[in-house]
Amino acid sequence: MNLQLALILLGVATFAGIVVFSLWRSRYEGRSLLERSLGWIQVVLERIPVERLVSRLRPRNLTRRVRQKEPSLVASAQFDLSGDAQNDQTPAESADTSDPGVGGIERGASTQSLQSEIGAQPLRIDYWARLPGTSPVSRDTALGVFREHEIDLQRPRAVHGRTEPGNVWLDLATASADEVFSDLIVSLQMADRDGSVTESELTRFNNLAYYMSESLNRSLKFDMTIEEALPQAVRLERFCQEFDLLAVIHIEPPPGSGFSGPDVVRAVDRAGMRLGKDDMFHLYDPRTGASRFSLAKRSESGSFSYDELESGMLRGLVLFLNVPTVPRPSQTFSDLISVATYVCTQIGGSLVDPQKGALSDVQFDDIARQIRSLESSMKRYGIEPGSEEAIRLF
């Protein structure tokens, strides 16, 4: 055996000895190794701000961050077509959902709080009373009595009747004058985005129902008591305040300039929008004729004048969508983005939110996600976006 081979064998033997010794030590001194590991883990944990993390994960704070709304989603009560009201508000202030919302109720309330205020059951929109009869009553007779005493009411109200023959329920205000009705129902809407009905108004409505019962010689049955109706009205008001949102996008001209009226008309016309209600442009649903979203001038009224469109200059444009009142609002918002992008490109502007923050695909995706969430939440409460019920409430 030469010296080189001997040294190699000695190295291998030394390495094997070290391995064996390490295994033996880990076997018989494992307890101290475990203790050292636990001590190291404890030191690491002490350096982690556990209390701060727990505080951030509390339901209220977690929900607040999840439910923060993009600046382009604006409550109707805070909607300003002039674009001036938001200038003094920083994005951080807008994102702080702990600020009171409409009616002083916090928009940053937790999901648990929202469910406790609205509840999980479908909402009831109307407080009503039924007046069945043994003989039919004419449309003019019933409507005359109703209109004589409805003047004491502020909330939307109606009287419906079941035709005889036919058994079809019709609104007496729009029914043909020669219709006669077997049963009648008088109703009062309990809330909308402007507030809820009061006990005093419910009492006045009851008086109307009693008077109709006596005048028309009919029995009377209320759907619920006033005591039962008041909490339902509060639930409905809270729902309206939570979901009363508009998606708003501004088209801003380059600094120190404006948009030519004729250029705006040309671009908007090519995008399929037409001048209509309130002297604003609208994209109409070809099936229903209803406006899906609108384009206004950036001014207090938002209305366009013919002089401006023919030869004037405009300091900015505002596209807006009333989210709960259109069918499939997420798809409608996608169409709004397409129109906004096209018009913006044609007239040389830029897309910004109401706080003048630049908008990109990332922000558009965030807005669309929140609109989809709002859409599904409304359905859970039994109100379909764009339905007759939604239009009544918003």
pLDDT tens per residue, range 48-91: 665 555 444 444 443 343 355 678 899 988 899 987 655 444 43
Predicted confidence at residue 153, as pLDDT, reads 94
- Rounded to the nearest 10°, the torsion over CA 234, 235, 238, 244 is -120
Residue 101 phi, psi dihedral angles, 5° rounding? -90, -160
Specify whether the CB–CB gap between 118 and 242 falls below 8 A. Answer: yes
pLDDT above 50 for 101: no
Q: Which CATH superfamily is domain 244-393 in?
A: ZipA, C-terminal FtsZ-binding domain (3.30.1400.10)
Q: What is the mean pLDDT of the chain?
A: 83
Evaluate if pTM is beyond 0.75.
Answer: no
- As its CATH architecture, domain 126-189+194-232 has 2-Layer Sandwich (3.30)
**Contact partners, residue 166, CB within 8 Å, separation at least 6:** none
Q: Between 43 and 239, where is the model more confident?
A: 239
* pLDDT of 25: 59
Q: What is the mean pLDDT of residues 90-94?
A: 39
CB of 298 closer than 8 Å to CB of 318: yes
Q: How many CB atoms lie within 10 A of CB 73?
A: 21
Q: Report the C-alpha gap between 129 and 185 in whole angstroms.
A: 6
Number of residues assigned to the chain: 394
According to the model, what pLDDT value does residue 92 have?
36
Give the domain ranges of the chain.
126-189+194-232, 244-393
Establish whether domains 126-189+194-232 and 244-393 are of one fold: yes
Amino acid 82: pLDDT: 84
Give residue-wise pLDDT tens across range 352-368: 999 999 999 999 999 99
pLDDT tens-digit profile of 198-244?
999 999 999 999 999 999 999 999 999 999 999 999 999 999 999 99
* pLDDT of 288 above 70: yes
pLDDT score of 105 more than 80: no
**Range name among 65-69, 213-217, 345-349, 376-380 with the lowest pLDDT average:** 65-69
